[in-house]
Amino acid sequence: MFGTHYRIERKSVALAVAIMIVASIGGLIEIAPLFTIDDTVESDPKMRVYTPLELAGRNIYIREGCYACHSQMVRTLQDEVERYGPYSLAVESKYDHPMLWGSKRTGPDLARVGGKYSDQWHTAHLRNPRDVVPQSIMPRYGWLSETELRTRHLGDDLRALRAVGVPYSDAMIANASADAVAQASPDDDTAGLVERYGSATQIRTFDGDKRTTSEMDALVAYLQILGKLSDAAHPAPASKE
């Protein structure tokens, strides 16, 4: 055994190849089957995609690093299920590129936060968390209300997502920018949006300001859909806290 090594360590390419082979085995056995074993992800034909506004909100969530403090994965432990709701299923993040399961809960888990608080609460909380939760240590995100959401190129985002497997239709891609604005403007014509994303789509002025579609609108729209894309894990029960 050590004699073999005595020979390998005299040849740099042999050593490099050996390292690559030995290091690749673990990943191959653990990752590759996840793409082929069918019951890795439950099937839910009713699982829906993010609307362009929700997707834009998700991108703001990513941009601001919210994942660093808030997980989106309720584990199968009793206290977590009681605190946050039914445990997360794989199908619920099927269209999440990338996933946002997180690794730390400096703040609470957000996997099922959708519908738990009002839009007004979210907006006030994001402007200054300590106005609604005096003990909070979350940063302030007041500028989101003042920043207009850039919707012009959302079609590109949907197209890229379709390339990696999210079933966005041609009509969804073509109307992405208009749909994003319409979802936060209940007075506008929203028939196309409802036709493309379903009647359960939440259409309202999320940040309470009708004049513009702001980044706050998008982020709140995203937070309000968390845990509601699929019913596979049962609808989230009322808050236990």
* Residues within window 36-95 making contact with another protein, judged by CB under 8 A: 37, 40-41, 59, 62-69, 71, 73, 75-80, 82-83, 87-95
For another protein, the closer CB: 163 or 200: 163
Nearer to another protein, 77 or 171 (CB): 77
- Minimal distance in Å, beta carbon 98 to another protein? 4
Per-residue x/- mask for another protein, residues 157 to 196, rule CB under 8 A? Answer: x-xxx-xxxx------------------------------
Closest CB to another protein among residues 141, 197: 141
Least distance from another protein to the Cβ atom of residue 92, Å? 8
- Six token digits for residue 219: 């982020």
The residue type of 117 is Y
Least distance CB 148 / another protein (angstroms): 11
Which of the residues 12 through 41 are near another protein (CB under 8 A)? 12-13, 15-16, 19-20, 22-27, 29-31, 34-35, 37, 40-41
Q: What angle do CA 188, 192, 193 make, to 5 degrees?
A: 80
Amino acid at 37: I
Q: Which stretch binds another protein (CB under 8 A): 10-18, 172-180, 191-199, 223-231?
A: 10-18
Site membership for another protein, residue 98 (CB under 8 A): yes
User: 47 CB contacts (<8 Å, ≥6 apart)?
Assistant: 91, 92, 94, 95, 229, 230, 232
Task: Residue count of the chain, please give it.
Answer: 241
Binding-residue total with another protein (CB under 8 A): 93
Residue 60 contacts residue 191 (beta carbons within 8 Å): no
- Pick the closer one to another protein by CB: 108 or 186: 108
Return the residue matching tokens 């069918």.
Answer: 38
d(CA 24, CA 22): 6
Q: C-beta of 196: minimal distance to another protein in Å? A: 20
Interface with another protein in residues 211-230 (CB under 8 A): none
Backbone Cα Rg of the chain: 22
DSSP lists the bridge partners of residue 109 as none
SS3 148: strand
User: In terms of CB distance, is 25 or 238 closer to another protein?
Assistant: 25
Site for another protein in 99-158 (CB under 8 A): 99-109, 129-130, 133, 135-143, 150, 152-153, 156-157
Which CA distances in Å does 18 have to 5, 9, 65?
11, 10, 38
- Interatomic CA distance for residues 192 and 203, integer angstroms: 12
